[in-house]
Structure 1
């Protein structure tokens, strides 16, 4: 499975008002592993950035005039995303700009170039309803350091989003976490998997904990109108299950 984490920086908020992409970055993951094969482009927009946008990304007109225009490097993007799932935070914003740039270059819309577009912001909102789900907030929530993010940069933001995405989608596929899939075999877990339970430290309940447990069981007995299942277990020494 090939996934591309993509981010852009722009001269403003709306391509319909003539705003352009000034930076484009893509980070590649294959089978949930970063490959180190990035695509990173600075682009000459042939215009100034709005002051608000410039304060976000810090890419000045003087700096950008020495870089290629979008149509001159568009083929690099087309080839890079071909057949991949592209993950973008607030995808509607970036795709709107990419479609405008591709149209100027006489190329198809972005959604037709890749296999699928996934909006990580919408995914985060479903996962964390009612919470802040900006990239900074997600980095904080998942313990990903973004201390070096003083300005927004497409490559840095793509790399951070890749780490966030892996954290958000790291389902528990087995009882053993963070183990290389190669350590598993069809018959079970390969290698030395013997487990000695006698090595575990046994902590017995103290008098105060035992008393709280007794009071809790009495409350359960009253609620159930008779001895609760735990009382039966204490009496028989079995759980009643085969």
Structure 2
């Protein structure tokens, strides 16, 4: 589904991502983990076109994404959420989703021409993420967890085949975390999507991931099934902690 081949990015002489390579299979739940500052968000920004790579290539189902702007990457079939919530805070939940649908269909926003009715598609997304009762609420006034649900709906509005989530549970309470992961996994399974995500909660990572890649100082130092990564001595030393002897 997704191939990242030798992607590299430096800032003023500092190499944030160094020849990172990973492959995400169709329908796979793939986690990227690593300490703070390892380069996880930079890697995601390179994949999604928010940053331009110095070297390397990104391909989605064989199609080259490298060099494309973010909106073109989205239209290629990739959806994304961010560490910091990215919603239209002064608009209602329903209006947020309608904007996402407008973007998907490339319809221009013109004040003299009413938008085509999208009631059915909007209602479907509201039901999918559990926000039908909050559809008229102002997005920026909802709880953090609810805003994360809305951000997921915005990503789904583009009908992605692969979903990238950058620390989806960061800042959430234990209850919100459980609800978030349950929602994400249900949506991924129901829609047959591929999932690539970063996460600091190792219980979540090892509980849902089919494959894990470990990033350290911008380099992928290990990649494999959860049990392989857990047993990797290099990973234990730099991130998981060396087991007691």
Larger Rg: 1
State the TM bucket, normalised to the shorter chain: under 0.3
TM-score after normalising by structure 1:
0.22
TM-score after normalising by structure 2:
0.22
